[in-house]
Amino acid sequence: MKNIDVNNEAISSTLIKTFKNNYQKELSNTVLRHALTKNQISDIIYDSKNEVDARYVFSNEVKTLPACNQEVSGRCWIFAGLNVLREIIAKKLNLKEFELSQNYVALFDKLEKCNYLLTSIISLIENEPNERVLMHLLVNGVGDGGQWDMFKNIVKKYGIVPKSAFNETYQSSHTQMSNQLINSYIRNFAYEAQKLKKAKKDKEIGILKEEYLGKIYNLLINSFGVPPTKFDFEYYDKDDVYHLEKDLTPNSFFNKYIGETINDYISIINSPTADKPFYKVYTIDFLNNVVEGDLIKHLNLPMERIKELVEKQINDNEIVWFGSDVSFYRDRKSGIWDDLSFDYISAFDFDLKFDKAGMLDYHASVMNHAMCLTGYNKKDGVTNRYKVENSWGSDVGNKGYFLMSASWFDSFVYQVVILKKYLTKKELNAYNSEPIVLYPWDPMGTLAD
Residues identified as active-site: 76, 369, 390
Strand (E) positions, 150-290? Answer: 231-236, 242-248, 265-269, 281-284
Q: Residue 203 — φ and ψ, nearest 5°?
A: -65, -25
Instruction: Please give the Cα distance from 309 to 314 (Å, whole number).
Output: 9
Asked if 305 contacts 423 with a C-beta cutoff of 8 angstroms, the reply is: no
Phi, psi angles (nearest 5°) of residue 440: -60, -25
Q: How far is residue 287 from each of residues 125, 133, 273, 427, 447, measured CA to CA in Å? A: 17, 11, 20, 24, 11
Helices (H), 199-265: 203-224, 250-257
Alpha carbons 41 and 47: distance in angstroms, whole number: 12
Nearest CA to 448 out of 67, 168, 81 is that of 81
Q: Classify residue 163 by its DSSP letter.
A: G
> Angle, to 10 degrees, between the axis of helix 76-93 and the axis of helix 148-158?
60
| C-alpha to C-alpha distance for 77 and 69, rounded to whole angstroms | 12
Q: How many residues does the chain have?
A: 449
Which residues, other chains included, contact 341 with Cβ-Cβ below 8 Å and sequence gap of 6+? 46, 47, 48, 49, 50, 51, 54, 329, 331, 405
Three-state SS at 129: coil
* Structural contact between residues 296 and 283, judged by C-beta atoms closer than 8 angstroms: yes
Q: What is the largest CA-CA distance in the chain?
A: 81
3-class secondary structure, 444: helix
The upper half-sphere exposure of residue 372, i.e. CA atoms within 13 Å in the direction of its Cβ, equals 30
What phi and psi, each to the nearest 5 degrees, are found at residue 327? Answer: -75, -25
Cβ atoms within 10 Å, residue 5: 7
First-to-last C-alpha distance (Å) of the chain: 29
Q: Cα 316 to chain center, whole Å?
A: 24
Q: Any residues with CB less than 8 A from the CB of 345 and at least 6 apart, and which?
A: 351
Give the β-pairing of 336-337 and 401-405.
Answer: parallel
